[in-house]
């Protein structure tokens, strides 16, 4: 979810081992001017807030996490162990304007964590400074394992996948909240991260959009392996079937996840795709039908069980009215995972 305004504090994700990433973090925002480009920063703040000691911004930055402004040296003095790049510019590159900040963090004793397509280790000045200072570079978007071609064979256990009418509107937040709510009910459930921010929150996962196209569905199969019959894997969705750039990764994830349940994520105030003004947002009816159709290639029983709304730009009354109207129109529970409860969705998921 990419909020238009600061969100209420989310409940902490239930304890899970964070694999290999040093924390706490100083979150770096560069000079981004829009909140959607800083969705990594907001995700880490909202779901791992205790691990965020502050933020570092460059002149012209128009995004504020509402935490202390710190230099790398100040952050290190407060216990930070890493500078985490919290922005994701289109294309996933690392601008030259960032390099002095990255080098200053290394000099202050901080490791670097990035989820961008560009690798920290491929920047000579950064690589050389890290080697000289004994610092570590974490490029979490790039897996160190090879993935198989998908088999399409059914796996045991239950799976829910979040899908969307667009990018950057709440698929990760919905999946995190659903996994947390299931565990609160005593259900054995895991959040399965498929993007860089989810990996930074959960400590493990696969950045699906960095996998070679032929292996995307196989990576999704690997991410949610055979499990106990009553175990739920709640899988973070990526992109949108209706996005001109990212539909491919969405389809591969749908096929490889073999979801029993789908939750469609939607921003009721958005009329065109984010950063693609020539493309209108499709109707929820079309999103429900097309995602269910695609999922049924590998799981004929796949069904849409709910609609998750990003209502950050609406007041409470308007948000509830929108959820009531949309839920009634489509015959499924409709909710905002950060504003009102998930009980009706869980009841539908867990019904015999």
Is position 7 within any domain?
no
Token representation of residue 194: 């498929």
Question: Do 171 and 30 have their domain in common?
Answer: no
- R_g (Cα) of the chain, nearest Å: 20
The last residue of one of the domains, among 139, 173, 202, is: 139
Please answer whether residues 205 and 140 qualify as being in contact, where contact means their C-beta atoms are separated by less than 8 angstroms: no
Bridge-based pairing of strands 272-273 and 276-280 is antiparallel
Neighbours of 153 (CB within 10 A): 9
Is position 43 within any domain?
yes
Question: Do 303 and 342 have their domain in common?
Answer: yes
For the whole model, what pTM was predicted?
A: 0.89
Is position 129 within any domain?
yes
Q: pLDDT tens across 9-57, in order?
A: 333 333 333 356 899 999 999 999 998 889 999 999 999 999 999 999 9
The last residue of one of the domains, among 139, 170, 190, is: 139
- Domain of 301: which CATH number? 3.40.50.300
Please answer whether residues 308 and 162 qualify as being in contact, where contact means their C-beta atoms are separated by less than 8 angstroms: yes
Question: Which residues of the chain, if any, have pLDDT below 70?
Answer: 1-20
Is position 16 within any domain?
no
- Domain of 97: which CATH number? 3.40.50.720
**Residue range(s) defining the domain that contains residue 85:** 25-139
In angstroms, the CA 182 to CA 187 distance is: 5
Cis peptide before 13 (omega within 30 of 0): no
Q: pLDDT tens across 331-352, in order?
A: 999 999 999 989 999 999 999 8
Q: Which of 33, 12, 26, 91 is nearest to 56 (CA)?
A: 26
Angstrom CA distances, 73 to 25, 27, 63, 97, 110, stand at: 12, 13, 22, 19, 9
| DSSP characters over 80-142 | --EEEE----TT----GGGHHHHHHHHHTT-EEEE-SSS-GGGSHHHHHHHHHHT--EEETTS
Q: Into how many domains does the chain fold? A: 2
Residue 20 has a pLDDT of 67
Is position 94 within any domain?
yes
Residue 36 has a pLDDT of 83
Question: Do 109 and 216 have their domain in common?
Answer: no
Q: Which of 180, 198, 197 is nearest to 189 (CA)?
A: 180
């Amino acid at each position: 979810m990419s909020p238009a305004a600061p969100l209420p504090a989310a409940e902490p994700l239930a304890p899970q081992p964070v694999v290999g990433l040093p924390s706490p973090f100083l979150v770096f925002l560069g000079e981004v001017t829009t909140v959607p480009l800083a969705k990594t920063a907001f995700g880490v703040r909202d779901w791992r807030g205790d691990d965020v000691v502050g933020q570092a911004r460059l002149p012209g930055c128009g995004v504020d996490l509402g935490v202390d402004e710190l230099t790398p040296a100040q952050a290190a003095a407060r216990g930070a162990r890493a500078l985490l790049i919290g922005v994701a510019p289109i294309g996933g590159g690392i601008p030259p304007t960032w390099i002095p900040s990255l080098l200053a963090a290394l000099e202050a004793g901080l490791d670097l964590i990035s989820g961008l397509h560009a690798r920290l280790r491929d920047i000579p000045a950064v690589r050389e400074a890290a080697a000289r200072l004994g610092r570590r570079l974490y490029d979490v978007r790039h897996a160190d394992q090879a993935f198989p071609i998908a088999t399409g064979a059914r796996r045991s256990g239950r799976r829910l996948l979040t899908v969307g009418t667009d990018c950057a509107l709440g698929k990760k937040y919905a999946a995190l909240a659903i996994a947390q709510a299931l565990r609160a009910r005593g259900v054995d459930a895991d959040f399965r991260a498929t993007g860089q921010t989810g990996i930074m929150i959960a400590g493990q996962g696969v950045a699906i959009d960095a996998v070679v196209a032929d292996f995307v569905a196989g990576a999704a199969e690997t991410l949610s392996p055979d499990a106990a019959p009553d175990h739920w894997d709640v899988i973070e969705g990526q992109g949108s079937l209706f996005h001109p750039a990212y539909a491919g990764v969405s389809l591969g994830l749908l096929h490889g996840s073999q979801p029993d349940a789908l939750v469609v994520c939607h921003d009721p105030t958005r009329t065109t795709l984010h950063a693609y003004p020539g493309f209108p947002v499709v109707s929820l009816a079309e999103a429900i039908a097309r995602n269910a159709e695609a999922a049924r290639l590998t799981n004929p029983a796949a069904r849409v069980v709910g609609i998750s709304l990003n209502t950050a730009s609406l007041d409470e009354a308007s948000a509830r009215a929108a959820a009531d109207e949309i839920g009634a129109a489509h015959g499924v529970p409709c909710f905002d995972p950060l504003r009102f409860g998930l009980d009706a969705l869980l009841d539908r998921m867990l019904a015999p």
